[in-house]
Amino acid sequence: MPSYTAPTKDQQFVLHDLLNIHDAKISGYEDLDRDTTAAILEESAKIAENVMAPLNVVGDQQGCKLENGIVRTPTGFKAAFDEVRAGGWTALDCDPEYGGQGLPYIVATAVGEQFSAANIAFNMYAGLTHGAYSAIHAHGTDAQKATYLPKMVNCDWTGTMNLTEPHCGTDLGLMRTKAVPQDDGTYQISGQKIFISAGDHDLSDNVIHLVLAKIPGGPEGIKGVSLFIVPKYIVNEDGSLGDRNGVSVGKIEKKMGINGNATCVLDYDEATGYLLGDMHKGMRAMFTMMNEARLGVGLQGFAQAEVAYQNAVDYAKDRLQGRDVTGVKNPEGPADPLIVHPDIRRNLMDQKSFIEGGRAFIYWGAFMLDMAHRNDDKATEGLVSLLTPVIKGYLTDKGFDYAIAAQQVYGGHGYIEEWGMSQYARDARITMIYEGANGVQALDLVGRKLATDGGKHVMAFFDLVKTFCKENADDDAMTDFTGPLKEASKDLQAAGMYFMQNGMKNPNNALSGSYDFMHMFGLVCLGLMWGRMAKAATEKLAEGAEDAAFYETKLATARYYMARQLPMTVTHLRRIESGGDTVMALDAEQF
């Protein structure tokens, strides 16, 4: 049976030693001193470890069941959900006007890491609600906000996002769901939506569906899409629940993972819907939440690697197999623990250096989102928009890879469901797909974000790297880190240059390299994070910090990252510079 221990010390290292959130001049960060974040993270850790983690395997094994039109979640989910709601954990970064706690997004991110690692499927019920909450908060009328938000903040009512239809996911312009205007200002929504996470369940009194649909007679394609609020139960004037609306669960999908979450086919049959935001501007309304949602998925992917890693380390220390080739390490026992073997080390160091670097990256992203929103900082908003597809794409691809790597440490036991490692891999797999498949993230990065505002955000990123390297140029202790980082950053710049010079001639030259570029960018971002973490650790050691071993570990892991992970940029660059011709050479029938 796998377990989870919240890495609060590592989390605090990123929050305070790396990002210095206690000193950040961001509105709402005033109270985020070390004691406060420690108090929050220790409380959330209890929930993650004791309430959520024990239900992770249960959710996977039982899945959700559709019985007479009613969706039943796995045993224990309802009680746990009530405990989480009662503790205020769904309301952390919500607006105090509607009952939220008003904490910055970075706090929600740190807590979210713990929750996602402990039980991703369970946390999606609140996660989707938060997405719907944000949409209504950003685009709703005062009346809509007053009706829905107070109930959604604490998950009395949960929410969903309805985009996909059987024939369209990425290309939502093909959408068929219709919204027919009624005399009373409402709309009748009809159509089928699929892959609706947390689409229905027995955890809350009402489910507030946000549904994209087309109003007949509107513009063709994506420009004719509007967003609607479609509650499972109609809400009466007085706020009480009225009639069942015309939305029903067609089926629950049988999936590779996240079985504890009900992924539903939802059939809308003249359901009553209320326009949210402007007519035909549904995509824009969706997009305002996109950065946050994609960061959230990046967090999920990375978190699966984290919990898988923890368990792999325990197993590697515990399992006796073979002897250390440089000399017996466990003479009392029949064999040495797995962790003495260099290839097991290589595997665990890959995981560790990714996980700690990934955490820094995603917390930095959350930090920038707070700065953008709370300080209305446009430059930072541009930078975090640029990096969002990297966070989503890179952290989920690698999160999955390292969940697989952790599973590998277990040998045959990793393949047996009883040990739980398969579930982490199967659960992580979805994060590469939903909220925009990673190929679409790469396209967004190279086809859109790179050139935004004349390319000034990517230049700002390179300046960050350059400045960091320059600031530490005279520090001998730092050249182990700045050297490789500078080199990798140059590779990334060269790739960007290649796109500029050759993408004009033929966009396929750029788009054929988009996936490599996304990964390359991720590598350099983690390189920057490791450089900064090495700096922070060096300073702590110079200050004579108490827990020297902790900071030494950071330095050793940073060195590993520079030596073994970062050089991957070289291959990515080679691929990119080979251009689009070999990629596009075949006719479709030659495949």
Q: Which of residues 121-180 bind a second copy (CB under 8 A)?
A: 164, 167-171, 173-174
User: 450-455: long-range contacts (C-beta < 8 A, 24 or more apart)?
Assistant: 450/386, 450/496, 450/499, 452/382, 452/385, 452/386, 453/382
Closer residue to a second copy in complex, CB, 147/164: 164
Q: Which of 48, 107, 344, 406: binder of a second copy (CB under 8 A)?
A: 344
Q: Which of 69, 185, 331, 334: binder of a second copy (CB under 8 A)?
A: 334
Question: Any contact of residue 544 with a second copy (CB under 8 A)?
Answer: no
Q: x/- string (CB under 8 A) for a second copy, residues 313-332?
A: x--xx--xxx--xx------
Residue 574 CB, nearest approach to a second copy (Å): 4
Question: Any contact of residue 478 with a second copy (CB under 8 A)?
Answer: no
Closer residue to a second copy in complex, CB, 251/378: 251
Residues 49-68 binding a second copy (CB under 8 A) are: none
Question: Any contact of residue 218 with a second copy (CB under 8 A)?
Answer: no
> Is residue 435 annotated as a catalytic residue, yes or no?
yes
Closer residue to a second copy in complex, CB, 239/322: 322
Residue 563 CB, nearest approach to a second copy (Å): 4
Q: Which of 1, 146, 473, 570: binder of a second copy (CB under 8 A)?
A: 570
Residues 241-280 binding a second copy (CB under 8 A) are: 253-257
DSSP 8-state secondary structure symbol assigned to residue 225: E
Question: Any contact of residue 560 with a second copy (CB under 8 A)?
Answer: yes
DSSP string, 84-142: HHHTTTTSTTS-GGGT-----HHHHHHHHHHHHHH-HHHHHHHHHHHHHHHHHHHH--H
DSSP 8-state secondary structure symbol assigned to residue 565: I
The C-alpha atoms of residue 329 and residue 528 are separated, in whole angstroms, by 36
**Contact between residue 367 and residue 274 where contact means Cβ atoms under 8 Å apart:** no
Q: Which residue has the tokens 């510079």?
A: 577
Residue 413 CB, nearest approach to a second copy (Å): 8
Question: Any contact of residue 348 with a second copy (CB under 8 A)?
Answer: yes
In three-state secondary structure terms, 188 is: strand
- Buried b / exposed e along 362-380 (16+ C-beta atoms within 10 A): bbbbbbbbbbbbebebeeb
Residue 366 CB, nearest approach to a second copy (Å): 26
Residues 502-531 binding a second copy (CB under 8 A) are: 506-508, 511-512, 514-515
In three-state secondary structure terms, 161 is: strand
Closer residue to a second copy in complex, CB, 91/225: 225
State the CB neighbour count (10 A cutoff) for residue 180.
15
Scanning 5-13, 119-127, 286-294, 428-436 for contacts with a second copy by CB under 8 A, the matching segment is: 428-436
**Contact between residue 298 and residue 94 where contact means Cβ atoms under 8 Å apart:** no
Residue among 42, 435, 487, 589 flagged as catalytic: 435
Backbone angles phi, psi at 233, to 5 degrees: -110, 130
The C-alpha atoms of residue 528 and residue 465 are separated, in whole angstroms, by 7
Backbone angles phi, psi at 269, to 5 degrees: -130, 90
Closer residue to a second copy in complex, CB, 209/575: 575
Residue 6 CB, nearest approach to a second copy (Å): 17
- Per-residue H/E/C for 445-456: HHHHHCCHHHHH
Q: x/- string (CB under 8 A) for a second copy, residues 179-208?
A: ---------------xx-------------
Residues 360-419 binding a second copy (CB under 8 A) are: 400, 404, 407-408, 411-412, 414-418
Q: Which of 189, 285, 349, 533: binder of a second copy (CB under 8 A)?
A: 349
- Strand 65-67 and strand 157-162: the pairing is unpaired
The C-alpha atoms of residue 324 and residue 427 are separated, in whole angstroms, by 34
Residues annotated as catalytic are 435
